[in-house]
Amino acid sequence: MKKFLLTGLIALCLVPVSTGKPAYKNPRLPEEKRVEDLLSRMTLAEKVMQLNQYTLGRNDNVNNIGEVVGNLPAELGSVIYFGSDPVLRNAMQKRAMEESRLGIPLIFGYDDIHGFKKVYQISLGQACSWNPALVERMCAHSAREARRSGVDWTFSPMIDVARDPRWGRMSEGYGEDPYANGIFGAASVRGYQGAGLSSQDAVAACLKHYVGYGASEAGRDYVYTEISRPTLWNVYLPPYRMSLEAGAVSLMSSFNDISGVPGSANRYTLTEILRDTWGFDGLMVSDWDAVRQLVNQGYCKDLRTASATAIKAGVDMDMMSHGYDTFLEELVESGEIPGSVLDEAVRRVLRVKFRLGLFEHPYTPESQPQERFFLPEAMQTAGELAAESMVLLKNDGVLPLRGVTRIAVVGPLAKNPSDLRGNWHAHTQPEEVDVFLDGIVREFPEAQVRYAQGCDVPAESRDGFAEAVALARDSDVVIYCMGEMQNWSGENTSRSSIALPRGQEALLEALKATGKPVVVTLTNGRALEIPRVDELADAIVETWQPGVNGASALAGILSGRINPSGKLSVTFPWATGQIPIYYDRHKSGRRGTQGVYKDITSDPLYAFGYGLSYTQYVYGEPRVVGTASLSRPFTVEVDVCNAGEVDGKEAVLWFVSDPYCSVLTRPERELKYFEKKPIAAGAVETFRFEVDPARDLGYLDAQGRYFVEPGEFHILVGDKDLKLDLR
């Protein structure tokens, strides 16, 4: 602290005396002028402190053990803010504004992942809605809650392509497809930042975890990833590029070692791609302790070296490693880090603070919780998102339920508010969650709805089976709510098997043996291995972890008030041993019965894009409007008829296949566009894919250069395949 005062005094003497307010405090000046003015006034110690993030308040991430609120320096750059009201924030901000020499505001970050005080559907489920406009709306509500509670910056969206459901963090992203992650990532960014960063209704988005974290070997968290350059460019980077194009102002560097160079020390990804190729001028924060972990990963011999390596690679802010605050000053003074490297990192932190309007409005207006939480429009969005993201996986005709007067609701997820919230449940309390049982009771007012838990989630005891089976016998239908605990997915929750506990399956067998129809609902944060459930259940509804307002959505699907429209954003394997299994795989050298498993099927249980509804959609033959060529955009259309008797919404997924490519082999098919629209019973809707050959038909080489070869292409939609010869 003494050092701060001394360097502060010296700097004060060096700044030319002026009567007006300094340029950086003038909101009418261009951002860069303000940044440079402020930078020129800062001492080395002040610059270094801007590059650190500590914690403030109760830490609710069980994977990160942080220090309790201590005496945080007023010159600090950022805190992770674990509070949910503005008071503590404002008190800390007051220190930064009034006790630091230059009055630089803090930026308050938090993991507002799928909701703040009111959790929504988890991201993996959101993607099954194929409705990015709805996700954008949800993020806008979430941003409003967070910003008005004192949070300026959310560590979201996570856009890590995930193809291994053993990796618990699959729940946090938008599934296995690069394009879907990009579209939903961009929608989230627009939702979070849309109102304008300086608005009390917006937060800065943070794309994470840059990059390749989803490729964690064997689904174990934090470990090595082996990613070839073509795979990096074609699979893991596109969601980032798309979300940056939507305006994201920050990213988080990842934990994983990317083929020998960890994500938080990787100059190629952090600087050459992000800054030099894509021109990103915003902020890169490390993941929690990721700088220190460079030592554990064997890339740096100590924290001092790790800090020098990370900042030189392009990590601007150190989240909780305490390497930058401990070593950066001496590293700059000794010339081991050029001053220009430090300045560049500081510029990026300051820019985001200026963009957020923090210099003009450092404090959060102190509103009442009811002014910002559980607003009717937000609850409505939560309900719509839950409904559109649930996926009907099987239906032997039992759904929608008709003429039932006695309903048995059974299972560990039926009356279980905790696990419906998902892993990042932020400030949501269990009592704020509407449980499935209550939704079903409301939905079927004429029926007798009775409940028996049967077993808990781990299902080690069968003591409750008899009661559940007796109830089933005395009912017209059984709704059996199976699934995972919320902390079985998320960070640090890798599992070697993705099957549900054997006891839950055993209860299903017992219920089925009663001869009553059994509707299974699934609540989980990953793709599951459930062939036995598929065999026994009469119907299956995948609900994911729908948050506070999922009960009416599920009940509406059961009754037929809602026609299910979700489709899977991730492949469900038939067995864990098939992993990795994903739709956009490359072709094999041998076909037919060669190269497939000899003991089980090689097909998934439920494929990517699969999902049933209460109506039938019939796809016409896709057609080109005008002339298709490689030299200019063209349109492909398809008519989709709702041939059933109920109105619905259909998500139409457009894939491209380039069957022969002399530079690099390509996946069998690649998702390039999707759109969801309502189609009334009996009506026909035309869906259009505006093909831009410079964006949709080509591929990236190992250097990230786009190329497209003339010849045969296929546009695949529904069950149809349009072959084109493109020149």
Q: How many CB atoms lie within 10 A of CB 690?
A: 12
Nearer to ligand BGC, 110 or 689 (CB): 110
Q: What is the DSSP letter of 85?
A: S
- Measured in whole angstroms, the distance separating CA 491 from the mean position of its chain's CA atoms is 12
Give least dist CB 491 to ligand BGC, A: 5
Nearer to ligand BGC, 63 or 686 (CB): 63
How far, in Å, CA of 686 to CA of 323, rounded? Answer: 57
How far, in Å, CA of 407 to CA of 723, rounded? Answer: 50
Nearer to ligand BGC, 212 or 550 (CB): 212
Residues near ligand BGC, by CB under 6 A: 61, 63-64, 111, 155, 208, 287-288, 491
DSSP collapsed to 3 states, 617-652: EEECCCEEECCCCCCCCEEEEEEEEECCCCCEEEEE
Nearer to ligand BGC, 111 or 670 (CB): 111
Spatial CA neighbour of 435 closest among 293, 268, 549, 337: 549
Give least dist CB 158 to ligand BGC, A: 7
> With contact defined as beta carbons under 8 Å apart, do 211 and 243 qualify?
no
Nearer to ligand BGC, 54 or 687 (CB): 54
Give least dist CB 123 to ligand BGC, A: 12
Give least dist CB 252 to ligand BGC, A: 6
Tokens encoding 139? 């993020």
> With contact defined as beta carbons under 8 Å apart, do 457 and 485 qualify?
yes
Give least dist CB 114 to ligand BGC, A: 13
Nearer to ligand BGC, 160 or 177 (CB): 160
639 burial via Cβ count (<10 Å: 0-12, 13-18, 19+): middle
Nearer to ligand BGC, 53 or 395 (CB): 53
Q: How many CB atoms lie within 10 A of CB 678?
A: 13
Spatial CA neighbour of 557 closest among 565, 549, 546: 565
Give least dist CB 113 to ligand BGC, A: 8
- Measured in whole angstroms, the distance separating CA 152 from the mean position of its chain's CA atoms is 18
Task: Give the three-class secondary structure for 64.
Answer: coil
Query: Which single residue is written with the structure tokens 């200026």?
Result: 354
Task: Give the three-class secondary structure for 540.
Answer: strand
Q: How many CB atoms lie within 10 A of CB 618?
A: 13
Query: Which single residue is written with the structure tokens 């500081």?
Result: 346
- By annotation, the residues acting in catalysis are 287
Nearer to ligand BGC, 285 or 341 (CB): 285
Spatial CA neighbour of 712 closest among 674, 656, 667: 656
- b/e burial code for range 369-378 (CB count within 10 A of at least 16 → b): eeebbeeeeb
How far, in Å, CA of 311 to CA of 277, rounded? Answer: 19
Give least dist CB 306 to ligand BGC, A: 17
Give least dist CB 213 to ligand BGC, A: 8
On the question of a cis peptide bond just before residue 211, with omega within 30 degrees of 0, the verdict is: yes
Give least dist CB 287 to ligand BGC, A: 5
Q: Residues 6 or more apart from 357 whose CB is under 8 A from it?
A: 197, 198
Nearer to ligand BGC, 251 or 459 (CB): 251
Spatial CA neighbour of 506 closest among 565, 475, 461, 553: 461
Up-side HSE of residue 474: CA atoms within 13 Å toward CB?
Answer: 12
How far, in Å, CA of 377 to CA of 380, rounded? Answer: 5
Tokens encoding 343? 């300045």
Give least dist CB 529 to ligand BGC, A: 26
Task: Give the three-class secondary structure for 678.
Answer: strand
Nearer to ligand BGC, 112 or 384 (CB): 112
Q: How many CB atoms lie within 10 A of CB 599?
A: 6
Spatial CA neighbour of 254 closest among 214, 218, 226: 214
Give least dist CB 189 to ligand BGC, A: 16
How far, in Å, CA of 248 to CA of 188, rounded? Answer: 9
Give the nearest residue (CB) to ligand BGC: 155
